[in-house]
């Protein structure tokens, strides 16, 4: 039976209204949103559900919003599994995350795209939700106040190496980089605003099918963003990181974090180095992952996965999709029932 991989979207996936249906239908999801409001000290829930869009798209809000929505959807599915099979998902001693699921429904790998890696840390038991929330809020605040200024854009129809050639021939070194290698013919670029505009025009003239500006207010995975790295590292020293209970495939390497002590350094490098999503998905597939379950406001990450590998895709995006997700995992769910 093919192994599961749980994946989580990053900044840019936010949409006004995300999470509302699980908030209204699931006590577990509602508790996640209420915890986020308490920890952050402002009404994140209302912004997620009602906007305004400009506020939700701001880095300082978008990062906690994306994390909170994914965790709420995951907790709602854990709750549904517990109700479906008439059993407690956890006795209360286990951390939130994959250990709260029956063993047949636990993933072999977890991975998050860009900001989604912080969600993966929670799901793998490395950080409690409240600590991860504070961490991404700090990351967003540092990026907005002291980080690099600029823009990002998605490029459809060209490989990372092709995009890099256009960048080199268009702007000075360091102004624009490939920030995400997302799929064989889809990448994201990051850089200063003028540089992005110049490269975007050159890419469109050079054969790119589409250039799509991203709804973000700061360029991540861009060398200049590394200036906030030491401040982020200092904040992480106030947190307790635990060993992951399931392998977390890291963005910066496309390989699992070797141990918990390597994670803070990887998260610092994550600010300025490329997201190796193409490599990450191939790693998981080569090691048996045949079903990818995405928890987020829309099928953003799985839309990339389907460009990389012929695997089963399951999307948990709202209340209605949770039952469908469990049904689509019927063989594994049957193993739960048989116990």
CATH number at residue 201: 3.30.70.250
Task: Quote the pLDDT of residue 224.
Answer: 96
Q: Give the model's pLDDT for residue 175.
A: 97
> What's the number of domains the chain is made of?
2
| pLDDT at site 334 | 73
Residue 1 scores a pLDDT above 70: no
Does residue 88 register a pLDDT over 60? no
Element (H, E) at 5: strand 3-8
Please state, in angstroms and as integers, the Cα–Cα distance from residue 292 to each residue in 4, 55, 243, 285, following that order. Answer: 6, 31, 23, 10
Rounded CA gap, 236 and 165, in Å? 37
Dihedral of alpha carbons 162, 177, 66, 119, sign: positive
Distance separating alpha carbons of residues 85 and 151, to the nearest angstrom: 47
Note the pLDDT of residue 92. 45
Sorted by sequence, the CB contacts under 8 Å of residue 331 that are 6+ apart come out as: 1
Based on the domain organization, do 175 and 126 belong to the same domain? no
Q: Which of 311, 309, 310, 313 is nearest to 321 (CA)?
A: 313
13 contacts 298 by C-beta, under 8 angstroms: yes
Which pair of tokens denotes residue 68? 């909170």
Q: What is the mean pLDDT of residues 27-46?
A: 97
115 confidence band (pLDDT: 50, 70, 90): very high
- 231 and 137 in one domain? yes
- Shared domain for 230 and 159, answered yes or no, is no
Pick the catalytic residue from 13, 70, 221, 272: 221
Mean pLDDT score, 72-98: 75
Same domain, 120 and 40: yes
Residues 210 and 242 in one domain: no
Query: Which residues on adjacent β-strands are paired with residue 188?
Result: 154, 180
pLDDT band at 96 (very low <50, low <70, confident <90, very high): low
- Are both 276 and 317 inside the same structural domain? yes
Catalytic residue, chosen from 26, 70, 114, 321, is 114
Residue 164: the pLDDT is 98
Average pLDDT in the 94-105 region? 82
Q: In the prediction, which pLDDT does 91 show?
A: 46
The per-residue pLDDT for 94 is: 45
Write down the pLDDT at residue 332: 77
Mean pLDDT over each residue of the chain, to the nearest integer = 93
Q: How confident is the model at residue 90 (pLDDT cuts 50, 70, 90)?
A: very low
pLDDT band at 84 (very low <50, low <70, confident <90, very high): confident
Residues 7 and 108 grouped into a single domain:
yes
Q: Is 221 a catalytic residue?
A: yes
What average pLDDT does this structure show over 304-328? Answer: 95
Clarify whether residues 140 and 155 are in a common domain. Answer: no
pLDDT at 87: 56
Averaged pLDDT for residues 158-175: 97
Query: Would you say residue 153 has pLDDT above 90?
Result: yes
Are residues 278 and 138 both part of a single domain?
yes
Single out the residue in 169, 193, 216 at which a domain terminates. Answer: 216
**Is residue 95 over pLDDT 50?**
no
pLDDT at 2 over 80: yes
State residue 236's pLDDT score.
98
pLDDT in tens, 182-206: 999 999 999 999 999 999 999 999 9
Q: Is 114 a catalytic residue?
A: yes
pLDDT of 338: 62
Chosen domain end from 169, 191, 216: 216
Looking at residue 277, which CATH number applies to its domain? 3.40.366.10
- For 74, the domain range is 3-146+225-337
pLDDT > 90 fraction of the chain, expressed in percent and rounded: 88
Claim to verify: residue 108 and residue 78 sit in the same structural domain: yes
Q: Are residues 120 and 269 in the same domain?
A: yes
Which residues have C-beta within 8 Å of that of residue 56, sequence separation ≥ 6?
Answer: 14, 16, 47, 48, 62, 65
Strand partners, 181: 187
End of a domain among 193, 216, 239? 216
For the residues 109-128, what does the mean pLDDT come to? 97
Whether residue 136 is found in the same domain as residue 47: yes
Q: Cα separation of 41 and 95, whole Å?
A: 24
């Amino acid at each position: 039976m093919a192994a599961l991989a749980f994946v989580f979207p990053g900044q840019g996936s936010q949409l006004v209204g995300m999470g509302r249906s699980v908030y209204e239908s699931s006590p577990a999801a509602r508790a996640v949103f209420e915890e986020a409001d308490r920890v952050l000290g402002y009404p994140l829930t209302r912004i997620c559900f009602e906007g305004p869009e400009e506020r939700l798209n701001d880095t300082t809000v978008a990062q906690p919003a994306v994390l909170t929505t994914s965790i709420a959807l995951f907790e709602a599915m854990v709750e549904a599994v517990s109700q479906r099979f008439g059993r407690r998902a956890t006795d209360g001693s286990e951390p939130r995350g994959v250990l709260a699921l029956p063993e047949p429904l636990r993933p072999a790998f977890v991975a998050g795209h860009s900001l989604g890696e912080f969600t993966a840390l929670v799901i793998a038991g490395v950080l409690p939700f409240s600590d991860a929330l504070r961490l991404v809020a700090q990351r967003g605040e540092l990026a907005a106040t002291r980080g690099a200024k600029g823009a990002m854009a998605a490029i459809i129809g060209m490989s990372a190496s092709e995009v890099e050639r256009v960048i080199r021939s268009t702007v000075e070194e360091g102004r624009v980089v490939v920030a995400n290698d997302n799929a064989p013919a889809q990448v994201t670029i990051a850089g200063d605003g003028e540089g992005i505009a110049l490269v975007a025009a050159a890419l469109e003239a050079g054969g790119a099918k589409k250039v799509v500006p991203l709804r973000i207010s700061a360029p991540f995975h861009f060398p200049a963003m590394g200036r906030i790295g030491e401040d982020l590292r200092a904040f992480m020293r106030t947190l307790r990181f635990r060993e992951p209970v399931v392998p977390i495939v890291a963005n910066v390497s496309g390989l699992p974090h070797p141990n918990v002590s390597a994670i803070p350094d990887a998260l610092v490098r994550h600010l300025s180095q490329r997201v190796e999503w193409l490599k990450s998905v191939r790693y998981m597939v080569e090691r048996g992952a045949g079903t990818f379950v995405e928890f987020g406001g829309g099928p953003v990450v799985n839309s990339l996965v389907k460009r990389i590998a012929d695997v089963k895709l399951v999307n948990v995006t709202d209340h209605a999709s949770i039952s469908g997700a469990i049904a689509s995992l019927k063989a594994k769910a049957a193993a739960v029932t048989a116990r």
